């Protein structure tokens, strides 16, 4: 974890080390509480607790503290969770994915002061990034879409179990946005997602994420919180398990090398 990323930010008390751009302390405290509670919850399910810090940033501070160029696209790397502390311009593009007939529902859930405010939705998405912190460095999913589905499952499970009153905020935008025609996007196949990942572009990437969020919700409805643990464990290979896999599928000598390397 790069603690130098905190330099110049304001520390906000909370369950996880949380730091904010000046003027965003109140918003950061809210996001920090969400991140800390979800971190504790996921740690209980998975049986370990990785080091994590939370940065809640202004648009000015964003470029110097994350390699994700698009302001407002939450991200996590090496134990550092980065989220926007103000309404990001690109969030407005996401509302354009919603059909005209569904705009009144969007306004009922996210409307504030005569405008659509997606901050409450993206505050919850901090839990998605907490999920990435847990698998990064300890669990390698064989496909990027599985990695993202796991993070979305962390998000949905935490909301459903610990903050069920927030389910409409979490699910309304993905449900309405996922209805957009695939033809509206340059990249719309699983292969596109695996090849380009976030390189598909902001709204296009979020369209993929909306679909994954809906599947995470369906998986939770079918299997409950246990699905999160089972999904993580399904692809977990410790050194001994990896050696057995190599012995059976590749070569016994390579299995021995994997343990001695």
> Could you give the angle at which helices 25-46 and 119-135 cross, rounded to 10 degrees?
40
Sheet containing strand 80-84, strands side by side: 10-12, 18-20, 53-57, 80-84, 75-77
CB 136 within 8 A of CB 232: no
Q: What is the pTM of this model?
A: 0.93
* Other residues' Cβ atoms within 10 Å of the Cβ of residue 78: 12
What is the reported pLDDT for 74? Answer: 95
What is the reported pLDDT for 62? Answer: 97
Residue 233 domain flag: no
Residue 107 domain flag: yes
Residue 99 domain flag: yes
What is the reported pLDDT for 216? Answer: 97
Take residue 235 and report the two structure tokens written for it.
């692809």
What is the reported pLDDT for 236? Answer: 83
| Alpha-helical regions (H) of 56-186 | 91-95, 103-110, 119-135, 144-162, 167-177
Residue 236 domain flag: no
Residue 238 domain flag: no
H-run or E-run covering 249: helix 239-249
What is the reported pLDDT for 1? Answer: 86
Identify the sign of the CA torsion 164, 166, 170, 173: positive
* Domain of 44, in residue numbers: 3-224
The C-alpha torsion from 162 through 168 and 172 to 174, rounded to 10°, is: 0
H-run or E-run covering 44: helix 25-46
Q: Give pLDDT tens digits for 45-60.
A: 999 999 999 999 999 9
Residue 241 domain flag: no
Residue 53 domain flag: yes
Residue 104 domain flag: yes
* Other residues' Cβ atoms within 10 Å of the Cβ of residue 112: 11
What is the reported pLDDT for 152? Answer: 98
- The total of structural domains in the chain comes to 1
What is the reported pLDDT for 235? Answer: 86
Res 137 pLDDT > 80:
no
CATH code for the domain of 143: 1.10.390
């Amino acid at each position: 974890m790069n603690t130098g990323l905190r330099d110049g930010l304001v520390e906000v008390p909370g369950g996880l080390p949380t730091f904010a751009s000046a003027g965003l302390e109140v918003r950061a405290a809210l996001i920090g509480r969400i991140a800390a509670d979800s971190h504790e919850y996921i740690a209980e399910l998975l049986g370990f607790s990785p080091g994590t810090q939370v940065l809640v940033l202004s648009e000015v501070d964003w470029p110097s503290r994350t390699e994700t160029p698009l302001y407002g696209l939450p991200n996590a790397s090496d134990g550092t969770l980065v989220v926007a502390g103000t309404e990001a311009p690109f969030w407005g593009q996401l509302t354009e994915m919603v059909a005209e007939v569904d705009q009144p529902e969007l306004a009922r859930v996210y409307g504030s002061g005569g405008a659509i405010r997606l901050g409450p939705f993206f505050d919850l998405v901090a839990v998605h990034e907490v999920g990435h912190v847990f698998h990064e460095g300890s669990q390698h999913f064989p496909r990027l879409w599985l990695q993202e589905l796991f993070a979305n499952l962390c998000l949905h499970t935490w909301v459903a179990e610990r903050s069920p009153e927030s389910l409409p905020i979490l699910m309304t935008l993905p449900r309405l946005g996922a209805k957009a025609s695939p033809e509206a996007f340059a990249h719309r196949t699983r292969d596109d997602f695996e090849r380009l990942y976030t390189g598909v572009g902001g709204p296009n990437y979020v369209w993929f994420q909306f679909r994954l969020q809906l599947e995470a919700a369906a998986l939770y409805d079918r299997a409950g919180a246990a699905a999160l643990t089972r999904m993580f464990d399904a692809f977990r290979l410790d050194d001994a398990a990896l050696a057995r896999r190599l012995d059976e599928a590749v070569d016994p000598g390579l299995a021995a090398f994997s343990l001695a390397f």
